[in-house]
């Protein structure tokens, strides 16, 4: 029989999480996505972690892919005040609604502005995102949790986040229009599948954040962009012996790649 | 100035990697995807890791989502002989071609057969995939590296793999038909962007595999399916205090979710 | 008040449809996807159309992107016997299951083999797919109808099919594991949303197939590959007057594309 | 030998097109996406069609999924002045940049605001989108044309647009960072593949718009939402005779759907 293991909350007491809700609804409108995010936030706090949370749509964030779009001609841009809240957190959870099967325009704006910092490097030579972990919570009426989660976890790992197992959690109702997560008739908050997934994702984020923090950040070695651009190749051999069949590898009539 | 760090190869000497090529071409046809995979394989071996590699299409793997499709009526199925090669590896790299912007049918078959093992648990109470790391290498003529990588890294993290940063690497030529990775006129093997990405992904996989192996596998606590099904909730509070605006959260006329 | 319009069945009597089920299950296993396909097939036949249907997995179709993979070294390949059934139909409906949020390996194989014919041209100078219409029916337990439909309608229009409105129909149950479309407890066949969508898609396919057939196939003019390759440009001006701001369009500090 | 056919420009003289650029850059910044859009605009005009074009980011469009977000609490929203420009056009072309492999936040906002009108009906009982045709032009540095086009053509057909063949056209450079479409060193405007695709898509949009306009709009019959909601079923038989194997269809041990 499996021994049930509950982590010691002291284990995570120094970890910081930021939870960004990319709903289209400004406060104080009720956000169903926030309803699901609150479940993870409560569990993070119960485990001793510090949690910061905001809705991106409440803030005047300019379109673009530069760290401060006022340098690019936009009259206002509050992203420079939001970025430090993300940069100092060990864990990022993005909450996204689904519209027509996709993440929202506000979700995409978050990714675009994070992307603006992707070529920055910190003291280790890695990006400000390395050493952090990311996960996604998605809500919608009917369809699209996996598709939205796939795009977002992809974006996060591309930036430098590490993605723990089971970082794609969400709630949707049956196919077609219907109640939303917080509607009384949806039983959203009682959905066992979503509750289990939220719990497991939250702990998996904590676990990997712990490992990376204890390692002093993402391990350095073989992965520094500036070193590569200066000519270091970290043992990469540009012309290795191939594993291809050696006895007359026959390129067939097939004119295509693959 | 950043200090350049090259890992000590002894650091990774006990790690095992399996590299699965999901080309549509059977051996001994020349596989461009294998050409790119060989770069990562060479670097893994240079770092002391043990590498096993095969093309899925060389093996008679039945369609389906069960561990052994012979139990489901198929006359033959060699998946049960391939699965242990994946199960014992700390690192999985999937190499996929791109066809019409998507991963191949063989890639998808690999995911379906891995998925068959997703509800299995090992001694820790987690799945056989927890504690492993995964990454993706993609080749094509013209377009689709990120889309294919997004789907595959999503699948892997859903199964239980941890995804390190920058696990989405590939090579494509300019838009439209054109030469393939190993064609002389493509300069595929000389593409600096792809070579850097391959190097960084390979080291990032090694680093996270090292962390997880040193931790004795993926950390256990708050994430065991059987415990959840037996009623353990790991501190998950089904009805937390919401962070929603408390002073009359106004549900507006908007009839939609979000 | 809207006048309700029911088409005259004689209107569609000369149309042919082929419905390809890409389930992973061979006959005679019960296919839930076929359960949904049967609804559209019945409606097509009630409207006078001729319907051919098969499961791709029942046939020994080789991997690859050539019209006959026996020319490429595969010992067997029955695709050449299936292709004419698709080539002679005015309407193609693909039925796909969802596995881990994606279409099946069998669905992908269908697309790969259709793709093998994409550079063929018929008498009009267009491809064998032009003049035909395509749609998609998707079933799964919980999530992914839109994602699968998006990939498949994309593939079909890329090949040359015209996609009518609302060609993305499906059935899924609530989030997480649960009953399948034909299971008694799913009420799949009674799902009003899916039934409406299936009805509308079926009629929309018939309507556009009718328009294209009455036009003598997809209209020719400005869209012939061979003519382009021979130098005809159909009025395309390689250097038009731009609509960009004329008074000193300022390329800003933004180093990125867009 | 194929007869080369060039359409008679008078054929398209009453057609209207709207071309929406969803770049992140406000005028008068140089937009590479507009550079590609201009090629299609010039060809549309050379064929007699009327073309309206704008950048969405130049306009203060509020987030949300209602026709006028001022009714939902937003202080400003110019969407109600843009919507008629789209509603009166027979052809919609969306131009999108690619950021991190995805369409932009501005592209997504366009879809969200179009979606707000999806449940409206016009005199025929169909939506305001039925009878129109849609296509997509995409530009980026390196990867993602097909993925962006797939999502956008999906959204358009879901709303009610008909998608002609080859409606997914774009330009990207080789993998990794590099020049943009209008940069001198990119040879973007000289890319034969993109030019052919732009030409063919433009004509295919014109052809199908012509067919639908000559048909008096999208054919009505079997596809009216209000009629369905009032109980009309258009011959849809809720319990057809299945095509499944009749002699003991054996549900196997496979507990999964499909």
Q: By the CB < 8 Å criterion, does A116 face chain D? A: no
When CB atoms are compared, the residue of C72, C147, C172 closest to A175 is: C172
Domain boundaries, chain C: 9-219
C-alpha B128 chain-centroid distance: 14
DSSP B226-256: HHHHTT--TT--SSPPP-S--S-----S--S
When CB atoms are compared, the residue of D71, D171, D175 closest to B172 is: D175
Q: CA-nearest residue of chain B to D256?
A: B65
Taking an 8 Å cut-off on Cβ atoms, the answer to whether A211 and B221 are in contact is: no
Identify the CATH number of the domain defined by range A9-219. 3.40.50.360
Structure confidence at residue C243 (pLDDT)? 66
How far does chain C reach from its first CA to its final CA, in angstroms? 47
Q: What is the pLDDT of residues C172-201, one digit of tens each?
A: 999 999 999 999 999 999 999 999 999 999
Q: For residue B43, is pLDDT > 50?
A: yes
Q: Which of D135, A99, A118, C102 is nearest to B148 (CA)?
A: C102
CA distances, A68 to each of A61, A74, A108, A123 (Å): 10, 9, 17, 22
d(C-alpha B16, C-alpha B22), whole Å: 20
Contacts of C105 in chain B (CB under 8 A): 63, 105-106, 108-109, 112
Q: By the CB < 8 Å criterion, does A194 face chain C? A: yes
User: A7 by DSSP, 3-state: which?
Assistant: coil
Structure confidence at residue B208 (pLDDT)? 98
Taking an 8 Å cut-off on Cβ atoms, the answer to whether D189 and C32 are in contact is: no
Contacts of B144 in chain D (CB under 8 A): 143-144, 146-147
Structure confidence at residue B5 (pLDDT)? 75
- Taking a contact as any Cβ pair under 8 Å apart, which residues of chain A between 64 and 103 contact chain B? 97, 99
What residues contact residue B132 under an 8 Å CB cut-off, 6+ apart?
B89, B90, B91, B92, B160, B161, B162, B209, B212
Q: By the CB < 8 Å criterion, does D171 face chain C? A: no
Rg (CA), chain D: 21
Q: CA-nearest residue of chain D to A158?
A: D100
Contacts of D243 in chain C (CB under 8 A): 34, 37-38, 41, 53
Q: By the CB < 8 Å criterion, does A146 face chain C? A: yes
Query: Is residue D151 a contact partner of residue D136, using CB atoms and an 8 Å limit?
Result: no
CA distances, C59 to each of B5, C53, C55, C76, D247 (Å): 54, 13, 8, 11, 20
Per-residue pLDDT band at B237 (split at 50, 70, 90): confident
CB atoms within 10 A of CB B123: 9
Mean pLDDT score, B170-196 = 95
Q: C215 is written with which tokens? A: 């036009």
What residues contact residue B252 under an 8 Å CB cut-off, 6+ apart?
A25, A29, D72, D73
How far does chain B reach from its first CA to its final CA, in angstroms? 46
When CB atoms are compared, the residue of A28, A125, A234 closest to B203 is: A234
Q: By the CB < 8 Å criterion, does A33 face chain B? A: yes
Q: Which of C169, C166, C167, C165 is nearest to C188 (CA)?
A: C169
Contacts of D174 in chain B (CB under 8 A): 172-174, 191
DSSP A54-78: EEGGGS-PPSSSSS-GGGGT-S---
Q: Which of B24, B144, B168, C220 is nearest to D208 (CA)?
A: C220
Q: What is the pLDDT of residues A82-126, one digit of tens each?
A: 999 999 999 999 999 999 999 999 999 999 999 999 999 999 999
Contacts of B171 in chain D (CB under 8 A): 175
Chains that touch A (3 or more CB pairs under 8 A): B, C, D
d(C-alpha A127, C-alpha A161), whole Å: 10
Contacts of D145 in chain B (CB under 8 A): 143, 175
CA distances, C254 to each of A114, B3, D253 (Å): 15, 30, 58
Instruction: Supply the mean pLDDT for chain C.
Output: 92
Q: By the CB < 8 Å criterion, does D139 face chain C? A: yes
Structure confidence at residue A248 (pLDDT)? 45
Residue of higher predicted confidence among B7 and C216: C216
Dihedral sign computed on CA atoms, order D250, D255, D257, D258? negative
Query: Is residue A59 a contact partner of residue A78, using CB atoms and an 8 Å limit?
Result: yes
Dihedral sign computed on CA atoms, order B219, B223, B227, B233? positive
* Residue B46, phi then psi, degrees to nearest 5: -60, -25
Q: Provide the percentage of residues in chain B whose pLDDT is more than 70.
A: 91
When CB atoms are compared, the residue of B66, B72, B143 closest to D143 is: B143
Calculate how close chain A gets to D6, using CA atoms only, in Å: 31
Strands C16-21 and C91-97: parallel
C-alpha B68 chain-centroid distance: 22
Strands B133-139 and B168-171: parallel
Q: CA-nearest residue of chain A to D147?
A: A151
Half-sphere exposure of B96 (CA within 13 A, CB side): 31
d(C-alpha A105, C-alpha D226), whole Å: 30
Query: Is residue A48 a contact partner of residue A42, using CB atoms and an 8 Å limit?
Result: no
Q: By the CB < 8 Å criterion, does B143 face chain C? A: no
Taking an 8 Å cut-off on Cβ atoms, the answer to whether B100 and C112 are in contact is: yes
Q: By the CB < 8 Å criterion, does C174 face chain A? A: yes
Q: Which of B54, B47, B108 is nearest to B81 (CA)?
A: B54
When CB atoms are compared, the residue of A28, A252, A257 closest to B249 is: A28
DSSP B54-123: EEGGGS-PPSSSSS-GGGGT-S---HHHHHHHHHT-SEEEEEEE-BTTB--HHHHHHHHHHHTTTT---T
Q: CA-nearest residue of chain A to C257?
A: A65
Structure confidence at residue A239 (pLDDT)? 57
When CB atoms are compared, the residue of D97, D154, D181 closest to C153 is: D154
- Spell out the per-residue pLDDT of chain D, length 258, in tens: 457 777 777 899 999 999 999 999 999 999 999 999 999 999 999 999 999 999 999 999 999 999 999 999 999 999 999 999 999 999 999 999 999 999 999 999 999 999 999 999 999 999 999 999 999 999 999 999 999 999 999 999 999 999 999 999 999 999 999 999 999 999 999 999 999 999 999 999 999 999 999 999 999 999 999 999 999 999 997 556 666 665 444 444 444 567
Cα dihedral C182→C188→C194→C196 (10° resolution): 100
When CB atoms are compared, the residue of C25, C73, C108 closest to B105 is: C108
Structure confidence at residue C242 (pLDDT)? 61
Half-sphere exposure of A141 (CA within 13 A, CB side): 14
Structure confidence at residue B245 (pLDDT)? 60
Residues of chain A with pLDDT under 70: 1-2, 238-257
């Amino acid at each position: 029989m499996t021994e049930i293991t509950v982590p010691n909350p002291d284990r995570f007491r120094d970890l910081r999480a930021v939870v960004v809700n990319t709903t289209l609804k400004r406060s104080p409108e009720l956000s169903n996505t926030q309803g699901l995010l609150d479940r993870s936030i409560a569990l993070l706090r119960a485990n001793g972690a510090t949690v910061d949370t905001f809705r991106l749509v409440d803030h005047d964030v300019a379109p673009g892919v530069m760290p401060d779009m006022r340098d690019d001609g936009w009259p206002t841009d509050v992203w420079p005040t939001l970025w430090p809240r993300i940069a100092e957190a060990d864990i990022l959870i993005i909450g996204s609604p689904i519209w027509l099967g996709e993440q929202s325009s506000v979700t995409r704006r978050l990714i675009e502005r994070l992307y603006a910092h992707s070529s920055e490097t910190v003291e280790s030579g890695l990006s400000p995102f390395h050493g952090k972990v990311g996960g996604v919570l998605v809500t919608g009426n009917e369809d699209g949790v996996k598709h939205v989660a796939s795009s977002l976890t992809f974006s996060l790992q591309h930036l430098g986040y590490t993605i723990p197992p089971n970082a794609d959690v969400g709630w949707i109702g049956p196919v077609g229009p219907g109640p939303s997560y917080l509607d009384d008739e949806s039983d959203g908050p009682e959905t066992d599948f979503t509750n289990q997934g939220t719990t497991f994702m939250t702990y998996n984020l904590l676990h990997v954040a712990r490992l990376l923090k204890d390692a002093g950040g993402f391990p350095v070695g073989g992965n520094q962009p500036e070193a590569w651009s200066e000519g270091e190749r970290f043992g990469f051999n540009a012309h290795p012996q191939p594993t291809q069949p050696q006895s007359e590898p026959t390129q067939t009539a097939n004119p295509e790649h693959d």
